[in-house]
């Protein structure tokens, strides 16, 4: 599966649009994780506990996006983007979305 942030793929033509696809995950950090982050905040710098959580959430949303695109028969996703929102205290949604397409190489 090819995933790009652009609206086209150089060297390929779009032969079919399959529509918008998305992968959504909702994550929170445990109480223990929040305590670890609080200690890191006291010393400043990169808060690795939250960094790992953010990376895991983005990867999960991306994987779900790929699964959805495959399910609808696409072999590529164009215009891929991420969005994240806090939906409750310490609860964040991460959305990966784009347009599922079928592409073929230009010969």
- Locate the DSSP E strands across 1-107: 2-3, 12-28, 76-88, 91-105
The C-alpha atoms of residue 77 and residue 99 are separated, in whole angstroms, by 5
Q: Which residues contact 1 (CB under 8 A, 6 or more apart)?
A: 66, 69, 70, 74, 75, 76, 77
- Collect all residues with Cβ–Cβ distance below 8 Å to 36 and sequence separation of at least 6: 49
- The tokens describing 11, both together, are 């060297």
Q: Which domains does the chain have, with CATH numbers?
A: 2-27+54-105 (3.30.110.70)
Q: pLDDT tens for residues 30-78?
A: 544 555 555 555 565 666 777 788 899 999 999 999 999 999 999 999 9
pTM above 0.85, yes or no: no
- Average confidence score pLDDT of the chain: 87
């Amino acid at each position: 599966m090819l995933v790009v942030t652009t609206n086209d793929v150089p060297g390929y033509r779009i032969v079919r649009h399959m529509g918008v696809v998305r992968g959504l995950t909702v994550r929170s950090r445990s109480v223990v994780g929040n305590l670890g982050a609080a200690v890191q905040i006291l010393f400043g710098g990169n808060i690795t506990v939250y960094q790992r959580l953010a990376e895991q959430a983005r990867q999960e949303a991306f994987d779900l996006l790929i699964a959805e695109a495959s399910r609808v028969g696409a072999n590529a996703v164009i215009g891929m983007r991420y969005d994240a929102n806090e939906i409750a205290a310490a609860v964040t949604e991460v959305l990966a979305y784009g347009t599922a397409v079928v592409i073929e190489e230009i010969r």
